[in-house]
């Protein structure tokens, strides 16, 4: 299992616009091979930003990488570089991919 | 839903010891109220560390906070500050708690 996270440093005051953009977007993931689940996360506030993260669980790292080369990925990121979108952020998003080494479930 | 992550910067060469410590530990979480699942994650390598993260899903932020005040939490973290453990890291762990704003599941 593989978790792909993108960390977004959202400028103070832009939280509502950022959340609206994400919560109203078209979602292209549901039928992508290897996709398991997506979550939008709101994390801690720093001095000059609020941390948000997209959090996507994939069956394997290979399934995630296949998706990044697909038309579905290009459709999903068509607007990501626009000036209106960039102004929401303090700096570019930071990608981190995680391999799952151990899972413990509720008894 | 709430995700509690602790980010660990593991010193180069200490990865096997760090993973062994985690994978052989006693797990006290399985019956804690509000606990849903735990995962140990290996993330990207930086110049002076490899990023690992503990990733725990809770029903609510309140359930997580209740656990941090419990005997179960003290048992689980009894050895966390020992010198033998500290030497695995470049710097202290960094806690980040995330509120889940949206979930998208596979179709």
Chain B CA closest to residue A34: B106
| 8 Å CB contact of B105 and A19 | no
Give the SS3 label for residue B107: coil
Distance CA B26, CA B19 (A): 14
Nearest CB neighbour to B100, from listed A39, A104, A106: A39
Query: For the structural domain made of B2-99, what CATH number should be given?
Result: 3.30.70.100
d(CA B18, CA A69): 34
For the cut 80, the answer to whether the pLDDT of residue A76 exceeds it is no
- Which alpha helices (H) appear in chain B, and where do they start and end? 15-23, 61-68, 71-76, 83-86
Burial of B20 (0-12, 13-18, 19+ CB in 10 A): exposed
Record the pTM: 0.91
What are the two backbone dihedrals, phi and then psi, of residue A79, each rounded to the nearest 5 degrees? -100, 5
Q: How far apart, in whole angstroms, are the C-alpha atoms of residue B9 and residue B103?
A: 29
B105: chain A residues, CB-CB within 8 Å: 30, 37
List the single range of A47-51, A102-106, B11-15, B70-74 with lowest mean pLDDT: B70-74
Dihedral of CA atoms B98, B43, B78, B91 in degrees, nearest 10, equals -100
pLDDT tens per residue, range B71-95: 888 887 877 767 677 789 998 999 9
- Is a pLDDT exceeding 90 seen at residue A4? yes
Residues of B in contact with A97 (CB under 8 A): 43-44
Is any Cβ of chain B less than 8 angstroms from the Cβ of A37? yes
CB contact under 8 A, A41 and B100: yes
| Reported confidence tier of residue A83, pLDDT bands at 50, 70, 90 | low
- Show residues of chain B in contact with A44, CB under 8 Å: 96-97
The four Cα atoms A55, A90, A86, A42 give a dihedral, to 10 degrees, of 30
pLDDT of the residue at B41: 98
The gap between the terminal CA atoms of chain B, to the nearest Å, is 21
Mean pLDDT (whole number) for A44-68:
96
User: Tokens in use for A29?
Assistant: 């993931």
Residue closest to B97 by CA, chosen among B57, B52, B40:
B57
Residue of B nearest to A50 (CA): B98
Of B23, B29, B106, which is closest to A35 when you measure between CB atoms?
A: B106
When pLDDT is cut at 50, 70 and 90, the band that residue A2 belongs to is very high
Interface touch A102/B39, C-beta < 8 Å: yes
């Amino acid at each position: 299992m593989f978790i792909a996270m993108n960390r977004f440093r959202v400028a103070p005051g832009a939280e509502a616009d950022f959340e609206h953009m994400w919560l109203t977007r078209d979602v292209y993931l549901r039928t992508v091979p290897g996709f398991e689940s997506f979550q939008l996360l709101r994390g801690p506030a720093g001095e000059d930003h609020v941390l948000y993260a997209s959090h996507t669980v994939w069956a394997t790292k290979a399934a995630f990488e296949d998706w990044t080369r697909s038309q579905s990925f290009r459709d999903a990121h068509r607007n990501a570089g626009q000036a209106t979108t960039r102004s929401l952020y303090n700096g570019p998003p930071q990608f981190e991919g995680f391999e799952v080494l151990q899972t413990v479930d509720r008894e």
